[in-house]
Every structure is written in C-alpha cells, then in structure tokens.
Structure 1
Amino acid sequence: MHGISWKKRSSQAGLSLLLLCAVGLAGCTQGASSIQESQALAASHPRDELVLAVGTEPEGGFDPTTGWGQYGSPLFQSTLLKRDAKLHLVNDLATDHSVSEDGLTWTILLRDDVKFSDGEPLTAEDVKFTFETAASSGSVIDLTNMAGVQAPDSTTVVFTLKSPQSTFISILTTLGIVPEHAYGSDYAEHPVGSGPYKLVQWDKGQQAIVEANEQYYGQKSTFRKLTFLYLDEDAAFAAAQAGSVDIAAIPAAFSKQKVSGMTLESVKTVDNRGIMFPMQPVGGTSADGFPAGNDVTSDLAIRQAVNVAIDRNALVEGVLEGHGRPAYSVSDDLPWGNPDAVFADADVQEAKRILTAGGWTDTDGDGVVEKNGMDAEFNLLYFAGDLTRQSIALAAADMAAQAGIKINVEGKSREETKKQAYANAVLFGWGSHDPLETYNLYSSTHKGEGYYNVGLYSNPAVDSWMQQALQATSEEEALPFWQKAEWDGTTGFSYQGDAPWAWLVNIDHLYLVKDGLNIGEQQIHPHGHGWPVTSNLEEWSWDDSSK
C-alpha cells in the first residue's frame, strides 16, 4: 500500500439541504422549516404510515411494459412469479408453471381470485396484453424470442418461444401485469395494478404517495400509507438527521456519522462497479458512427495488469467505508457466477511481470511503461456528479500507476460518455438477478447496443457457452454453461481469459432506519435503480418495544 490512503472524495455542500427535510410530508414547496418543526411533523404521522427516501424518481413513470420494476418490486403491479429472500422462485399470480421438453412452450396457471385496484378481475387476457405490449414497446424488456402468447381460458397463459431460453423465467419474475381495460397513454402516470399498493398522488420532482390496495390478494402490509420523497443522497441524509423520514438511503461517505433515533442497515448487493475496456485497436467506428478502439486497452497485458494491481479490499475500506466487498465478475455470489474466476489482486509485482512479458517496459524512467514507442496511458470516464464512481476511479488510477500504467480520470455527462465509450475505458455499474445481463454485456451479438458491450468484445467460445446457457430448458441446466463462459479452463471473459473488464467492488446499499422499524430479510440487492428495498414490504413492522 506504500502509505497511500484511498478515501472517498466527498462533498458536504448538500448538508445545507437540511432545510428541505419537510418536503413531501407537507407535499409542498412553501419554504424551509426548522429542524424541530420537521421532527415534530415526522413524529405526528400515524404508525401505519411511513416516509421513505430510498431511491430516485422513475423517469418513465410506473409502467412495467417500459421498464418499471426491473430492478426491484413493481409495487403497484403483480408478477407471475417472484423471488424470495434467498432468490428462490415462488408463485405470485401463478399457481403453477411448466415448460415443454423442447423448451419452447411455457404454460402458466393463474389464481382466480385476483382483482386490480379498480375492482376489475385480472385474467389471462391481461397477461397476454401485458407481454404483447412490452414486446412492442422497444424498451429494456427483451421479448424478441417470444413467438406468441395465448390465453386459452381465463386462468391459463401459454407462451411460445422461437428457441429455448432459460432466462425467460426472469421476465416472469419482473414484468408487472397491467390491465388491458385501464391501459392508455397516461398509464405510466396513473397506474392501475394488482400489487400491494396503489398510487394516489405523484408530485413530479418531489414525492409519490401510495396507499394500501384493499383488493390485494396477498399478505397485507402493516403500513397503510407510504410517502416516497425524491431526494438526492445529501438531502436524504439531511432528512434523516432532521428526523423527517423513517428510512433513508445514504452513501458510504455518511455511514460513520451517527444519527439519533436511527440505525444503519447494510444490505449485501451485486450492485457492482467495474472498468470496461475498449477491446479493439484504434481505427474502427461504432454502429452509430463514433470512433472506436484503443491501442493501449486492446492489449491483454494492460487489462490483466490493471486487474491484478488493484487492491479491491482497499477500495472497499477506503472508498466505501467498509460497506461492500471485492468484485471479480458481474455476478459474484450468484448461482451462475464462476468461483474459479476469483484471483489474487493487490499484487503490483505480478502486474509488472505481466507487463514485462507483454513487451511493456519503462525505457525512459518516467514511471510509465511503453511498448513500440507508445505509453501505457488511457482515459477512464465516469458519470460526472457521481462522487462514489469518481472516488473509485481516482483510487484505481493511483493503484495502476504503481505498476506503470497512467490512467487519466475524467467526469463526463451520460451523453458524452456514450459517444466516447467505444474508444475510452469507462467506470460502469451493473448487477442483476437475471443472467441475461451477463449475455448482454459479453455477447458479440450485443456489441454497442445502448450501454451493452460498448467495448466491442467478441469471443466465439464465450458466445457458444452462453448460447448453450440460453437454450437450456431450466435455470439449473444453464448454470454450468454460464460458468464456462466466464472461464472454461482455457478461455472466457474472466481475468484469467480475455479480461474485457476489471470488476472492482460490490457496493452495499445503506439505509438509515428509524429505531424499532424492522425491514425484514432483504434479498441480495441488484443495481441501484428502482426501489429494491421495498420488495418485501409485507414483512416490515414496528418492533413491539417501539410502540
């Protein structure tokens, strides 16, 4: 470590937002309140109501067919299946499901006692409508392999696939069902669903107020009303300090600061951060015409040296204040991850050995290795304004410099990042309960699609293993194929193989929770979009001692 301390670059400027802590409880912008007034206001709401600042506002609203609920519970809608705290499949709307021997026909049997929040019954026709609408929306929900969906009767749905797809099960656990009779152009703002809650008020940019759905067929929550405040991390922490929220998501930078009346809850995640490397030499262009390729990062020795030089435990302790764990893949601790892909890091000498073997040496003594007259220097982009990504990027650059690799860290807008990502390394964040994300990130068929595979990685062996995983008829059958795509003993997308990424850390999701509020057993959380902490709201309760 050479005495270097990698600490998060944080800003306290946002703490001035203490004055905003009453926003949402009053549903207003009428001006600042004192801390004492905010605490009194928070204490005044009934025990069956909660005020939460746990995530960002969904830009596209609350329509599952365009992506709402993909990174957490859709809340207002129900899904056919869902995953419990251990990520095991359990029924939701479905009472049973089966897959034909050839993997092409999926049959779902539905409950017959489900009603939407407007009192109308939910039937197989609504399921059919939902999947057909999602398939035609062009959204993040990939239903291109669905040949058709039929509703032979009110409680039976039959999906026909073009080819076997083991990951189709994940779509059944995340796509909330919408009502055909109440679906229109304004559905995203006025959702009707069969989930445990219904939206009653959405003040854009400020808050959403939801109430229990009296028609809900499942286990009822203790809490009748929830107010979600849309606050950034600084403002959420300020609101927690002021006592105006019952639960607040906070960054690691604030985790050491005690807040009276609240307890810090740390939730394990696969919300990872990693460096994506451009894999092609300079001279190419992306499908949309942007420059592609990087002569430094396209060299395997550079990518492997960066991977092995970085001290992931130091990143966790220094940047994340201990709230996280090292990342070695996009799917650490998930069933389809390959434990053999884990490797020893924080080894600068090994990084130097790899570079030397690859023809990289420091001939001019400036501390940066060269090869064929080219310095081992490249840019690392991150989304400007994200302090955690900035801190991780700067710390990783410091670590790589010890091995002789110069990384220039630059914050860019998302728009600029998308344009420059084909030619520059980027610090991205991913993490999903669906192995299809692995396919999207590493498959040659997804090169340059949105933020998928912008490094333009391609390996026929990896493609073959992943294709076999997709064409398996069950999740279990697919697992060894996903693992071999990562590393099969000869090649793969892991560090030991092509190393198209340097995965760095999995970031714990941190919540300040009011003393006495029990948020139940949480799933391992996916990437931080949506409100994953709410996936088990029916388990939340006040401890008896707090009443």
Structure 2
Amino acid sequence: MNKMRNLKLMVVLLLATSLILTACGGKESAKSEQSSRDDKYGGTLITADLLSDPGSFNPITSSEHSEIVGIVLESLTDRNAETLEIEPELAKSWEVSEDGLKWTFHLRENVKWHDGEPFSADDVIFTYQVVYDENIPNSSKDGMIIGGEKIEVLKVDDYTVKLILPQPYAPLLSQLNGFVILPKHKLYQTWQAGKFNQSWGIDTKVSEIVGTGPYKFVDYKTGERLVFERNPYYWKKDQEGNQLPYIDRIVRQIAGSRETQVLKFEKGETHLVGIKNSDYNRMKAMEEQKNFTLYDAGPTWFKSLISFNQNPNNPNVKEQPWKYEWFTNIHFRRAAAYAVDRETIINQVYAGFGQPDFNAVSAPNKRFLNPDIRKYPYSLDQARAELKKGGFSWNDQGQLIDRDGRVVEFTFVTNAGNELSEANLNIIANGWKELGMVVHAIPIDFSKLVRQLTSEYTWDAFFLYLTGSPEPNSGSNVWKSSGNLHMWNPKQQEPATQWEARIDELFLKGATTSDYEERKKYYDQWQEIVADQVPVIYTAVADSIYGVRNTLKNVRPNALGGVLWNLEELYLEK
C-alpha cells in the first residue's frame, strides 16, 4: 500500500518517464521489427535438383514436367501440400451454380506479368484457346475435356471468367491446379501464326518467358544451371503484409546424377537434397558437422506396382495362349500378391524407411484412402493355397505347372538403370521362384519398356513406379477400361469384365458428384474392387527423406511438395 501511495505522489515524474520510455521502446520495437523483416530478404538459394537439361520450357507441349511451373507460371488454383486442400491462386474466389455446371472465377486485380503487363481474363481465355487447339498436342487438354466435350469459357469482365461445363465435374478445382495460365501478350501472335508448338523452346531468350509466379527466369546455361530472380511485382504477401518472396535468387544446377546431387550437398554447395533411404544413417552421422538436418517427410506419393499382361491383343497370345490363361486367373494373381515379401523390400531397398502397400490410393492421401480392403501379407502357404484353387500344381522337380502340365515360365521386366526398380525386381522374382515359377527377371531400356506397354503389348509382367495424386480422378486414364494407361488391358472398346465396368461407373459417379462423402463412398468401392481382383499388385512405399541446410529457414518438408512447396515463404539466415 505504501508503494501505491508513493507512486501516486510521483505521478507526474513517472508519467513523464513512462512517456520517454514508451517512445524509446516504440522506436526500438519498430527498429527491431524492421531489422527482423529485412533479415528475411536477400540471398541465393542453390539446388542441384535437375538431373538433365529440360527438353522445352513450353508447359503445354512438353511431355515432361516443365521446370518453370510453380516458379514462373501459376494457375487459377493451388493445392496446399500440407492440408491437401485446394486454395485460391490467380483466382481469388469462385462460386458454382446449384446444378454444378456454371463456375464463376473472380481473378486477382493486382497481378502483373514479369514484364509489368497486367494479368487479366484475356490471358485465361487465351490459354483455353491454345489448349483446345487441335493442332497443338498437349496433355493439359485431358483434364479439360469432360464427358468428351470442351468447357465453354466466357469473359464476364476484365477480372471475371465463367466456365460452363457439359456436365457436373467435381475434380474441376483439382484439375485447374497445375493448369498454368499463359501470357496472351507474349504468345498470341505466335499462336495465330501457327508456331505455338515451336515457342518457348530451350533456345528461347529467357526474358521472353514471363509468368506471374514468385520468380522470373533470367538465365539458362546448357548442362549447367537455370537461374531465377525475385519477381518485384509478385502479388502474394506474408501475414504481416510484407511482399513475398524473401529470397532474391534461385539457382537450379543440373547435376546429371543422384550421386552428384548428394556429393554437392555434402560439400556444402547446395541448400537441399532428396536422399536415398539407404544413405540415411551415413548422412545422419554428419548432420552437426555439415550443418544440415535430415527430414523424414513420411510415405511418398509414388506407387510401386506389378502387373501381368491380360491383353488379348498381345501378339504373343496366338503362340502362347497359356500365359494369357495364367494371367487372367484371379487365383494366380492373388498368389503372386501373397508371395511379395514387402518387409524384405522395406529393409533391403528402403533401409527400413517404408511401409507395406496394398492400396490403389497413395498412403499419404488420408482423405480418400480406404483402410478396410483385402490385403496380401507375405505368406507362401496362402499363395500355394490360391494356386491350388486356380488349378495349378507342382511336378516332381517342384516346378509350378498348370492344368496341362506346362511349367509356369515368364519374363518379368523393369526399367534398367533405376537401382530401386532393379532391387525390387529381384526380391519379387525370388518370392515367385519359391512357388516353383520360372521367372526371368530382366531390366530393359526404359524407352523399350514404354513401347511394350503402350503399343507393342508384348510384355509378360512388369514392375514400375507411378506417381499418385490427392485427386483420385487424376488416375482415370489408368483405371477406366478405355484408358491408354489401363496397362493390363488398355484402350478397351467395351469393358472386358464386370468388375472393370463397375470401376468405369464408379469413376463417372466420382467425377460428377460434388459431395465429398458421396465421392469417398464411390472411391472406397473402387479400392475394394482393385484389392479383390488384383489387376495390379502393390508392394511397399518408401519414406521421402530430405537433407536441408540449417541456414534455410521456414522449411516444412512433406512428401507431396518436397522442401520447396512453400518456396516464396522460405528465407536464408544471414
């Protein structure tokens, strides 16, 4: 109490002192905030994440992932790599009509292209004109053809576009993610002249390649690097209202091999690297000395899978019809699934960083993953029981034979040069050999493998990695019976089986139903059918492991987006 009286008596002095201290503190606080803000800006981020030179910088005509998507070019929507939710990008908001056919997108009004020209609805309209042009081969068109028809794209005003769909299409927002918008003012004349297919090649002056993304393309040296600099016009800001991105310059070196990527990182020449699981323990031991941290980002989105050829158009069917009979026998496929030693794959190929996989949906995709499906844990006894159900038996030499006494013998291939694929191939083949099968496990040139799968159809069995997606409909070219990647029996005029017809129906319903719970029911059923019929056999999924230099801040690596998914928010410690 005495202290309180004293304080009251000295109120004038204290008030004055308080004002002085507050003023000083305010200046110091402002200075501190400004310093903290400035500390985030600047620096050069160096990676060696490219294994080879790009074939083209044209994101529409390129058959491979474009190295400028996401860095230079943006889409109407984006997917948050942490939550998997679709978020606004160039479109700040949208609404859809009750019938699901009319989508109105409101575009951001403060966006500029890297050369300072304003972004507008005209750029969106132009992009659709290019993609729908029959003279421009591109895969972007696939996601924008709905029920065999194009989307009608209308300009409402400079910053509003309306998409009119031929039928409801639930995955639209997902498809728009990655559907990059092109600069009309740079490419319209080229398109009109019929030369779009030749535009933005690797010999193009990089200043002509403009986007709205966080970085502009400033240099490309063949066999060496791609260089990007901060976009001074970038529209995105951080939570305090400061303009993004923070880092001034991105240098993406062309490493040529994974070994070189790791070596550069270990030498301190780069800020991040994706590492093989088998390198984890060795690199973990040098974390502190080399000033980096290893992140286990959890199961990858890649699917490692096996399939047997069930295509009646296989030219070898006439000479070897028995193979077609084996591979179309569901008990043979189930037996093959039971004989896959997934734990050995995890331990020997992925150094213990992985998990068994039985599902058509990628392991991290919790929104659509159905855990209640039939599984095939390693069991040679169950495999033999399935073979007996399928009419198989064993001869005196222990070889597996069919009803006609013919030894089960076939070729099992994967892409040569991929050590993970080759290691999987041998482990899986050994499991089948334990069942008495004669398996010729042969890595072959990737281009040859692609020809066999997509046009020649002469393969027996394969092991491959495919990429997964948060949106199940993105795999429709694999799962629809008419799909060109319906590998075991592609491009069917009519579904060959009732279960394939049912999957066609489920994918149609999944694509035309907007309610998430209803969609999940359809995709749950699809996963159950795949697990029951085993047209493909899933093996194991590895964890994604990244090494990141400790000077790179605000990193939150995950399996979908890697380290750079939030590139504009990363900064370098000074």
TM band (smaller chain): 0.7 to 0.9
Instruction: Report the counterpart of residue 304 of structure 2 in structure 1.
Output: 273
2:471 is the alignment partner of 1:434: yes
User: TM-score normalized by structure 1?
Assistant: 0.81
CA deviation string 1:455-514 (max 9, x = no partner): 438411111111111122355542221221222xxxx222x2x21101112233332221
Instruction: Report the counterpart of residue 216 of structure 1 in structure 2.
Output: 234
Amino acid aligned to 1:144:
I
Cα distance in 1 for residues equivalent to 2:323 and 2:376: 29
Cα distance in 2 for residues equivalent to 1:66 and 1:110: 25
The structural deviation recorded for 1:216 is 0.7
The structural deviation recorded for 1:116 is 0.8
Matches within 5 A, 1:339-354: 339-341=371-373, 343-354=375-386
Name the SS for the 1:341 alignment partner: coil
Identical-residue share of aligned pairs (%): 23
Instruction: Report the counterpart of residue 48 of structure 2 in structure 1.
Output: 53
Relative to structure 1, is the Cα distance of residues 247 and 522 closer, same or farther in structure 2, using a 3 angstrom cutoff? Answer: closer
Amino acid aligned to 2:501:
P
- Say which of 203, 226, 230 aligns to 2:250: 226
Instruction: Report the counterpart of residue 140 of structure 1 in structure 2.
Output: 139
Cα distance in 2 for residues equivalent to 1:267 and 1:416: 33
2:223 is the alignment partner of 1:205: yes
Tell whether the 8 Å contact from 1:377 to 1:405 is kept in structure 2 after alignment. yes
Cα distance in 1 for residues equivalent to 2:452 and 2:65: 29
- Say which of 535, 541, 544 aligns to 2:571: 541
Instruction: Report the counterpart of residue 549 of structure 2 in structure 1.
Output: 514
Instruction: Report the counterpart of residue 176 of structure 2 in structure 1.
Output: 172
Unmatched segments (≥5 aa) in structure 1: 1-45, 527-531
Relative to structure 1, is the Cα distance of residues 126 and 171 closer, same or farther in structure 2, using a 3 angstrom cutoff? Answer: same
CA deviation string 1:310-329 (max 9, x = no partner): 12232122101123332222
Instruction: Report the counterpart of residue 71 of structure 2 in structure 1.
Output: 75
Relative to structure 1, is the Cα distance of residues 293 and 406 closer, same or farther in structure 2, using a 3 angstrom cutoff? Answer: closer
Structure 1 stretch displaced more, 106-115 or 323-332:
323-332
The structural deviation recorded for 1:331 is 1.5
CA deviation string 1:18-37 (max 9, x = no partner): xxxxxxxxxxxxxxxxxxxx
2:340 is the alignment partner of 1:305: no
Tell whether the 8 Å contact from 1:73 to 1:534 is kept in structure 2 after alignment. no
Amino acid aligned to 1:301:
H
CA deviation string 1:383-437 (max 9, x = no partner): 1111111111111111222233343221112221123233322222221233223
Instruction: Report the counterpart of residue 200 of structure 2 in structure 1.
Output: 187
2:456 is the alignment partner of 1:461: no
Amino acid aligned to 1:514:
R
Tell whether the 8 Å contact from 1:278 to 1:455 is kept in structure 2 after alignment. yes
CA deviation string 1:301-354 (max 9, x = no partner): 221112122122321221011233322223234223322225141112111111
- Say which of 446, 453, 460 aligns to 1:424: 460
Relative to structure 1, is the Cα distance of residues 503 and 70 closer, same or farther in structure 2, using a 3 angstrom cutoff? Answer: farther
Tell whether the 8 Å contact from 2:488 to 2:535 is kept in structure 1 after alignment. no
Aligned pair count reads 481
Q: CA RMSD in A?
A: 2.7
Name the SS for the 1:201 alignment partner: strand
Amino acid aligned to 2:564:
T
Matches within 5 A, 1:269-348: 269-280=300-311, 294-333=324-363, 334=365, 335-341=367-373, 343-348=375-380
Cα distance in 1 for residues equivalent to 2:210 and 2:316: 44
- Say which of 354, 359, 383 aligns to 2:391: 359
Give the structure with the larger helix fraction.
2
The structural deviation recorded for 1:157 is 1.3
The structural deviation recorded for 1:130 is 1.5
- Say which of 99, 104, 108 aligns to 1:107: 104
Unmatched segments (≥5 aa) in structure 2: 1-40, 191-197, 238-243
- Higher CA-based Rg: 2
Structure 1 stretch displaced more, 121-130 or 316-325:
316-325
Tell whether the 8 Å contact from 2:106 to 2:159 is kept in structure 1 after alignment. yes
Instruction: Report the counterpart of residue 21 of structure 1 in structure 2.
Output: none
Higher RCO (CA-CA < 8 Å; seq separation 6+):
1
